[in-house]
Structure 1
Amino acid sequence: MRIGNMKWPLYHVLVGALAIIMIYPVIWLIMSSFKESSVIFTTSGSLIPDPWIWTNYKTGWLGVAGQTFMSFIYNSFEIVVISTIGAVLSSAFVAFGFARLQFFGRSIWFGIMMVTLMLPHDVVLVPQYILFSKLGWIGTIAPITVPQFFGIPFFIFLMVQFIRSIPRELDEAATIDGTGKFGLFFKIILPLIVPALATAAIFSFYWRWEDLMGPLLYLNKPSAYTVSLGLKMFLDSESVSNWGAMFAMSVVSLVPVIAVFFIFQKYIVEGISTSGLK
């Protein structure tokens, strides 16, 4: 009997065991959010809280450094929305140019863009910080959001593959009707690459929401901190860290991520699978 046969009991047992292993860290996080900080990391403690400490969520929501956790969530959403709009739109424009327009050195520029995918982000941290410091952007969200308006290589590659799968006969028909390049992009290409746009938007949301390095480098006021920095502030190397409150707010911070995934998961699958057909 083949392993792929869904009726094979051992197959279900193995898949179920792997699922439990994968989801166990999330279960541990949720259970730990209801425990006293002093017993979370004890080896003798059980997975189930005893007693259940519901005040961890109240304490965590009140925040730290005079800022409520709602303030951190608002700041994160502000950065996420601006960055996502910039990343998706700019990447779509660049992808359209690479996929449909003819210009000198197109293959060379596309190759250079692809090489940047292999460039470690840590390599450009110092030059970027110096540049943004000279521009006077330190302490604002500009260093985190503005670069997103110049295209993201991964999104560009994703959309280029998607656009290349669209028949060029549509372009020719639109051109015969008098549609210019911008009209071709907005009226023909853009509506047909919605799955790729949605996939890029979801990935951008995830990356910006969980980003720690960017806010840590460029934001210097607690009132501007994001969720990732807010969670870090619950830990104090010089006194007692409030692990219970931090885990409670970690669970809260997972809610938008999980909601976005379940609402738009079909776009993720469709966008990646369609772009990968090439």
Structure 2
Amino acid sequence: MVYPLVWMIMSTFKESGEIFKTAARLIPDTFTLENYKTGWQGFAGYGFGIFFKNSFIIAGISTIGAVFSSAVVAFGFARCNFKLKGFWFACMLVAMMLPFQMIMIPQYIMFNKMGWVGSYLPIIVPQFFGQGFFIFLDIQFMKGIPRDLDEAARMDGCSIYGIFARIILPLVKPALVTSAIFSFMWRWDDFLSPLIYLNDPMKYPVSYALKMFSDPTVGSDWGAMFAMATLSLIPIFLIFVTMQKYLVEGIASTGIKG
């Protein structure tokens, strides 16, 4: 499982023309950092620093929107009573199960009529209306929180918004961090959405920019592509290392323990 990743990383230190000639060997004959230099320069005058910045903007804003909006919706399902609650919960589950390919064309038509195509709006704005998986995860956590805490907060004069902000959110921190990790990772790795909606190289994220190194008609710069792909793994790796405790707790737990 790890070998392809190790092979890619070691290939970044080989000369581009030697990568597949010496594919059977992990250790390059001559170490070189030229692939990183060439890759960072990017293409057509656009350096890879721009693409990394774009990816952080898309993934960062989308993660904030997805985590907060999902927590709000989950709180409504877990703690509030309203008409057709079961129906809307079923709709949420059905929407979560739909593959993106089924709604891809209707969404494009809708966003195109709104004049959003060519911008980050079709990629970022939908994240601010809740994500099914995160809503379901937050609901399971909130259901494990004793309702006595809500009643005690109400007796102290706390409103429904105060209960959500002061009681619920701190107790579902593992679920929120887990949602943030998955959301950031999915948006960082997303290739299809930028391919559909973005047409300006200045706005490309890393996931889409990596494709620009591949040109079957002329030749692909595999060394530069592998080098930038290796750098693109660093943010995800750091997030997993620093947030591993919350990730495990968020997935393994379904509520607080007393």
Does the aligned pair in 2 maintain the 1:31–1:49 contact within 8 Å?
Answer: yes
Aligned to 2:159: 180
Distance 1:50 1:43 in 2: 9
Separation in 1 of the partners of 2:222 and 2:174?
39
SS of the aligned residue for 1:237 comes to coil
Instruction: Determine which of 31, 36, 49 is the counterpart of 2:10.
Output: 31
1:120–1:57: structure 2 CA closer, same or farther, 3 Å change rule? same
Q: Secondary structure at the match of 1:53?
A: coil
Q: Is contact 1:202-1:260 (8 Å) kept?
A: yes
Which residue of the partner structure matches residue 170 of structure 1? 149
> Deviation at 1:60?
0.4
Corresponding residue of 1:72: 51
Alignment check: 8 A CA contact 2:141 2:175 kept: yes
Which of the residues 33, 37, 52 maps onto 1:58? 37
Partners in 2 of 1:134 and 1:119 — Cα distance?
A: 23
Instruction: Give the alignment partner of residue 259 of structure 1, picking from 234, 238, 250.
Output: 238
- The residue number in structure 1 matching 2:97 is 118
Candidates 212, 218, 221, aligned match of 1:233: 212
Q: Is the 8 A contact 1:99 1:160 kept in 2?
A: yes
Cα contact 2:143–2:255 (8 A) shared by 1: no
Query: Could you report, residue by residue, the CA deviation over 1:95-138 in whole angstroms, capped at 9, with x for unpaired residues?
Result: 00000000111112111111222211100000000000000001
Aligned partners of 1:206 and 1:221: how far apart in 2? 23
The alignment status of 1:141 with 2:120, answered yes or no, reads yes
Q: For residues 179 and 105 of structure 1, what CA distance do their matches in structure 2 show?
A: 27
**Identity among equivalent pairs (%):** 57
Which consecutive segments of 4 or more residues in structure 1 shift more than 4 A?
none
Identify if the C-alpha distance between structure 1 residues 64 and 253 changes in structure 2 by more than 3 Å, giving closer, same or farther: same
C-alpha distance in 1 between matches for 2:76 and 2:205? 35
Deviation for aligned residue 1:47: 1.6
Say if 2:13 and 2:31, in contact at 8 Å, map to a contact too.
yes
Residue 108 (1) aligns with residue 51 (2): no
Task: Read off the aligned partner of 1:231 and give its amino acid letter.
Answer: L
Secondary structure at 1:138 match in 2: coil
The residue type paired with residue 128 of structure 1 is: Q
**How far off is 1:256 after superposition?**
0.5
Contact 2:70–2:134 (CA under 8 A) maintained in structure 1: yes
Letter in 1 for 2:107: Q
CA-CA distance at 1:275 after TM superposition: 2.5
Offset, 1:42: 3.4
Residue pair 1:64, 1:230 contacting (<8 A) in 2 also? no
The TM-score normalised by the length of structure 2 is 0.96
Of 247-256 and 45-54, the range deviating more from structure 2: 45-54
Distance (Å, rounded) in 2 between the aligned partners of 1:44 and 1:125: 38
Q: Which has the larger radius of gyration?
A: 1
Within a 5 Å distance, the mapping from 1:145-164 to structure 2 comes to 145-164=124-143
Correspondence for 1:18:
none
1:139 partner letter: G
2:194 aligned residue = 215
Once the 2 structures are TM-superposed, how far is the Cα of residue 220 of structure 1 from its aligned partner? 0.5
* Residue pair 2:16, 2:35 contacting (<8 A) in 1 also: no
State the alpha-carbon separation in 1 of the partners of residues 142 and 57 from structure 2: 30
RMSD of the TM alignment (CA)?
1.3
Distance 1:251 1:81 in 2: 20
2-structure distance, mates of 1:236, 1:177 = 66
Amino acid at match of 1:246: M
Counterpart contact for 1:83–1:145, Cα < 8 Å: yes
The alignment partner of 2:58 has SS state of helix
* TM-score relative to the length of structure 1: 0.89
Inter-CA distance 71–170: structure 2 relative to 1 (3 Å threshold): same
Given candidates 204, 213, 223, the residue that maps to 1:244 is: 223
The answer as to whether partners of 1:39 and 1:45 remain within 8 angstroms in 2 is no
| Cα shift at 1:204 | 0.4
